[in-house]
Amino acid sequence: MKKLWGGRFAESANSFAEAFGASILFDCRLAPFDIQGSIAHAQMLGETGIISPEESLQIQAGLRKVRDRLERGDLEFRLSDEDIHMNIERYLTEEIGSVAGKLHTARSRNDQVATDCHLFVRAEIVSVVGLIADLQAALVRRAKEHRGVILPGYTHLQRAQPILFSHHLLAYAHMLQRDIGRMVDLWKRANILPLGAGALAGTTFPINRVRIAELLRFDGVYENSLDAVSDRDFVLEYLSSCAMCMMHLSRLGEEIVLWTSGEFGFVELSDAMSTGSSIMPQKKNADFAELIRGKTGRVYGSLMGLLTTMKGLPLAYNKDMQEDKEGIFDAVDTITGSLRVATDMVATWKIHPERMRAAAELGFVNATDAADYLAKKGLPFREAHEVVGQMVRGCFTQQRELLSLSLDEFKAFSPLFESDIFEAISLDTVVNRRTSRGGTASVAVDEQLKLVDVELARTEAWLREHSATVAAT
Ligand code: ARG
């Protein structure tokens, strides 16, 4: 089969090397974006008179036919056509004959593939922001539902101070808000048009790059043609934002694994969101939470892989850059799947408030408050800390909790203790006195809930606007 670039070559390709160099097995995923970019390019070529208006319309109509065939599943891509760009051009030629050859005027595959990648990444930004917001919404719904449920908060995975379960869930909602922030910020750099850079140096044809940007709803054009074809920063930024988000999901996954263990027993996943064992009939495993944790590594790998690919490349395009695709496709699939299962797990889990509370009643999570009590009565905090430390040591050896001490026993440690100590270190008081901004008291958590609701509404508005951008072209 003659290559689209066959003119320069006398010998036909080595078939093993041809397969080694081909990207069609994975970049076929860019097909709709490749067609979208080509339609805009053809329209601009017609409007500027670089090709005739009739030719332009013919090419655009042909591309639409190719798109229809693509949507019907009626295209079979060929390895011998190397990549998606040449496969589409081959089908266009099949549809409209030799005029198809005019589409590539004033264009190179280098600015073409960069354009496809920008269109792909911006669509995936919108998609992932939507999925992150879904998870946030599920967390907020559960936080509202579980208002008032107390569990131990941990540091070093040792019980530290009691907190509201809602407070804990909202911590994830805030992390995810930063993930959304990174994606939203990246949009500015992803939504810039490289097309018109040509192979690297621009073109001798009187093209109108701004017009293509307008047709494809890009916010601007690259100002340097070398930069336009050699930049993959936006892919790296997307990968790094995904990596950060996966790290958050992985931490949530780890908590789900802990919480669903018999030792904790705080949470039970729905049957649909857990799995059994082929040998142990009693098992109900949090496989999906573990898989999120496990798959996080792949996304880090894609980020490190592409950073490494890019670091030694001289300007401008180099074939190494073809290696960006499998990594980003894999990252997109991984984060999409992880966000979906995380959302379903959170939305359908059952919690055991009594187990959480029981865990919070043990382990001296009110010790800080006993020390605060003494400090508020004038004892320097360091001394108060020492006194309560001795109380805890005494209780620990007798397997008792602070609240089981009698007033006389309290007084034996410090005369400052009075009968209001029991109220002061009760679980509900300990939680609800932490009214500082961002703290765990109900009133403070209610404030946070309001803030996250505002952010969710803002994200919804952003999504409406940007989904329209992605869909319109
Ligand atoms: N398949 C190539 C890629 O993904 C397209 C660009 C090829 N350009 C070239 N000059 N060979 O990067």
Distance CA 463, CA 466 (A): 5
Identify the burial level of 18 via C-beta atoms within 10 angstroms of its C-beta, where 0-12 means exposed, 13-18 middle and 19 or more buried.
Answer: middle
Q: How far is CA 301 from CA 128, 238, 327, in A?
A: 19, 13, 8
User: What confidence score (pLDDT) does residue 5 get?
Assistant: 80
Q: CB of 228 closer than 6 A to ligand 1? A: no
pTM of the model: 0.95
Instruction: For residue range 217-261, list pLDDT tens digits in order.
Output: 999 999 999 999 999 999 999 999 999 999 999 999 999 999 999
CA 356 – ligand 1 centroid, Å: 56
The answer, yes or no, to whether any atom of ligand 1 lies below 6 A from the CB of 328, is: no
Fold of 367-425: Ribonucleotide Reductase Protein R1; domain 1 (1.10.40)
Looking at residue 6, what is its pLDDT? 80
pLDDT tens digits, one per residue of 7-32 = 888 888 888 999 999 999 999 999 99
Tokens 């919070």 sit at which residue? 360
From CA 329, how far away is CA 354, in angstroms rounded? 44
Please give the number of the atom of ligand 1 that sits closest to the Cα of 83.
1
Q: What is the mean pLDDT of residues 303-307?
A: 98
* Residue 141 CA from chain centroid, whole number: 20
416 pLDDT above the threshold of 70: yes
Contacts of 467 (CB under 8 A, 6+ apart): 126, 130
Cβ of 109 less than 6 Å from ligand 1: yes
Question: In 3D, which of 205, 206, 212 has the Cα closest to residue 228?
Answer: 212
Fold of 6-105: Fumarase C; Chain B, domain 1 (1.10.275)
Domain residue spans in the chain?
A: 6-105, 110-147+167-194+231-357+447-472, 367-425
Res 2 pLDDT > 80? no
Whether the CB-CB separation of 308 and 279 falls below 8 Å is answered with no
Instruction: Tell me the per-residue pLDDT of 63-108, one tens digit each, with 9 for 90 and over.
Output: 999 999 999 999 999 999 999 999 999 999 999 999 999 999 999 9
Q: Which of the residues are catalytic? A: 156, 277
Take residue 361 and report the two structure tokens written for it.
């009643």
Both tokens of residue 33?
Answer: 């974006």
Q: Is the pLDDT of residue 62 over 80?
A: yes
* CA–CA gap between residue 182 and residue 238 (Å, rounded): 9
Give 181-191 pLDDT, tens digit per residue: 999 999 999 99
Q: What is the pLDDT of residue 8?
A: 84
CATH topology of 6-105 equal to that of 110-147+167-194+231-357+447-472?
no
> Whose C-alpha lies nearest to ligand 1, atom 12?
322
Unique residue bearing structure tokens 């922001």? 129
How confident is residue 280, by pLDDT bands cut at 50, 70 and 90? confident
Residue 312 pLDDT: 97
Looking at the predicted structure, is the pLDDT value of residue 282 above 90?
A: no
C-alpha 272 – ligand 1 centre gap (Å):
43
Q: Is 321 in the pocket of ligand 1 (CB under 6 A)?
A: yes
Measured between alpha carbons, how far is 45 from 40 in angstroms, rounded to an integer?
9
* Residue with CA at minimum distance from ligand 1 atom 1: 83
Q: Give the model confidence (pLDDT) of 308-360 as tens digits.
A: 999 999 999 999 999 999 999 999 999 999 999 999 999 999 999 999 999 99
Burial string for 301-340 (b: 16+ CB within 10 Å, else e) reads ebbebbeebbeeeeebbbeebbbbbbbbbbbbebbeebbe
Structure tokens at 308: 């490494």
Does the domain spanning 110-147+167-194+231-357+447-472 belong to CATH 3.90.550.60? no
Residue 22 carries which DSSP code? -
Output DSSP code: residue 50.
S
Cβ neighbors of 41 (< 8 A, separation 6 or more) are: 103, 107, 195, 212
Q: Is 23 in the pocket of ligand 1 (CB under 6 A)?
A: yes
With the most atoms of ligand 1 within 8 angstroms of its CB, the residue from 322, 325, 328 to mutate is 322
